[in-house]
Structure 1
């Protein structure tokens, strides 16, 4: 029970760090990667992402990957109201409906689709296979997102997948070092895993940054849905975890998935209908004379 409390507390801290970083990234999402390098605020966002990642890795020592990852939905709960607060407006009904539906759906999935932990590390062949498959998937999704007029959600999906793989690799490194000692860091497969963590972390950050260019809510919701879904898949396929569900629970899980999808759709609608304050137009000389008359 103590480990569970620590894991949840760490996940809350991770969510606060990631939510704050997402808000900073969203404000500069229209810039290119080269332009972003000269923005001090972005480096602060990267620092917050690094802090969140460090806390996330720490939390993996207190709970399984399939439990830790779904708690990332707390980022959405914090980020959307905080974005409204910074814009000096109230959270809209669509935003509230979208966040509520997404959180309830993902929470239901977390409760229903429980897993029993098996092995906690990736074997060498599994790790290499995961890296190749993830690189191919992210490349395809990124290319789809770069098409003219394409939805930014393609990049959000790619970012979520990249982050989940980083988590799986981090868990492998942490558990391996904890079991075999610091000498495990010198193994070629461990070095490969650490390098892959860096590459996928940077790639996921850039892709999520781009996904925010038309609004924060829907891409952030998609990233938070894809992240645990990918983590659960990795846990089932590679880490020896297994589903503990009945047919009734599977049906309930499908309903929760639909509810989460509805939430994302609501957030996308909120982005499309949210009013944008027009800049004040300067008064003409004639209008000035009328006001003085």
Structure 2
């Protein structure tokens, strides 16, 4: 197969992967908005066919992504994966029968630009680089503690209705997926050589497989919880925290570095700042008065069909107009005597 044909296939498969992930995110977001939490929420979720459609779409997106990596380089496929956010916005808006606001488009483009800059300077993993057993256990323990902290803070923000609710779950989901990918790469490398630890180390292979399955399922459930706070901002954070966590693992434990030396580090830092700006725009959802008649998130049990009355009170505005004082007319003067 020629290089041009492989590149075209890689692009097409990357677009299919982005569409699969976007459809799955929209489906998860609609499930999150339609279902309540509490006891038995997970059981109710697993009993809904829409959830399994979302799982299947995520799996299809992952398979298309792996196939795209087979035909194209990482530097081409990974940035195209960030199109998931751009595709999810119009799909979600169409399902909600609304238009994508200008603030959402700006936030998506900022996030996409930051992700492309971050991934473009991230070097591919060397085939023989993998985590050893001690590093695997350390990464697992640190990740579990981080996920527990992020999830607890996100739950607290969910209950209070604070801005940015769900972003903690989204960050935890991205981190869990990144660790699952790192462990998957470790497992495939170990199996290509031999069983980890030699012929008697089969239990290490089983441990890696169990951890990979746990992080994959945990990342999916954490993203489901994140979408209770909306679609765009949590999806942007998931797409941002995943490569960021993978880059941290690669640089700290696998001896990787960013391309272009010091310039690569500067580009990665600038990309992170740009992507963070996009997440802020998606979180706040600011709109001008001409673009929307309601403020996003400002719903206090009032439906769109109910009129809302506003009272303006000021220091110089009386509660009610004062009744005019009666006009005093003086009595007529007596006529002089003749």
- Is the structural similarity TM-score above 0.5? yes
With 98-107 and 131-140 compared, the bigger mean Cα shift is at 131-140
How many angstroms apart in 2 are the aligned matches of 1:250 and 1:234?
Answer: 15
Deviations 1:47-104 (A, max 9, x none): 2222233444555666787876554312112111211122233221011101111111
Q: Does the alignment pair 1:261 with 2:276? A: yes
Task: Summarize the Cα distance change of 1:245–1:19 in structure 2 as closer, same or farther, 3 Å threshold.
Answer: same
Q: How does 1:1-293 map to 2 (within 5 A)?
A: 5=7, 8-30=11-33, 31=35, 32-58=41-67, 71-114=80-123, 117=126, 119-147=128-156, 148-149=159-160, 151-180=165-194, 187-270=202-285, 273=296, 278=303, 280=305
Residues 239-292 of structure 1 show CA distances to partners (whole Å, capped at 9, x for unaligned) of 3322233434433432222211111111112286279894657xxxxxxxxxxx
Structure 1 residue 4: Cα displacement: 7.3
SS of residue in 1 equivalent to 2:268:
helix
TM-score normalised over the length of structure 2: 0.72
Superposition deviation, residue 34 in structure 1 = 2.5
Q: Which whole-Å CA distance do the structure 2 matches of 1:134 and 1:66 have between them?
A: 27
Q: Which runs of 5+ in 1 are unaligned?
A: 282-293
Given the two structures, how large is their TM-score scaled by the length of structure 1? Answer: 0.82
Mapped partners of 1:166, 1:116: distance in 2: 15
SS of the residue 2:18 aligns to: helix
Quote how far apart the aligned CAs of 1:207 are: 1.1
Runs (5+) with no aligned partner, structure 2: 36-40, 287-294, 307-338
Contact 1:117 1:242 in 2 (8 A): no
Structure with a larger share of its residues in helix: 1
Shift of 1:33: 1.7
- Whole-Å Cα distance in 1 between the matches of residues 130 and 239 of structure 2? 23
Conserved 8 A contact 1:66-1:231: no
Cα deviation, residue 106, structure 1: 1.3
Q: Which moved more, 1:170-179 or 1:88-97?
A: 170-179
Residue 74 of structure 2 contacts residue 124 of structure 2 at CA under 8 Å; is this kept in 1?
no
Tell me, what secondary structure is at the counterpart of 1:88?
Answer: coil
2:327 maps to what in 1? none
Deviates more, 1:258-267 or 1:116-125: 116-125
Shift of 1:116: 6.9
- 3-state DSSP of counterpart to 1:161: helix
C-alpha RMSD of the superposition: 3.3
Deviations 1:4-56 (A, max 9, x none): 73555443332221111111110011423222122111111112222233444
Report the Cα distance in structure 1 between the residues aligned to 2:227 and 2:56, rounded to whole angstroms. Answer: 18
The verdict on how the C-alpha distance between 1:126 and 1:62 changes in structure 2, with shifts beyond 3 A counting, is farther
Select the structure with the greater relative contact order (CA < 8 A; seq sep ≥ 6). Answer: 1
SS of the residue corresponding to residue 116 of structure 2 reads helix
**Aligned residues of 2:29 and 2:231 also touching (Cα < 8 A):** yes
Going from structure 1 to structure 2, the CA distance change for 1:156 and 1:11 (only over 3 Å counts) comes to: same
- Deviation larger for 76-85 or 11-20: 11-20
Alpha-carbon separation, structure 2, partners of 1:187 and 1:136: 27
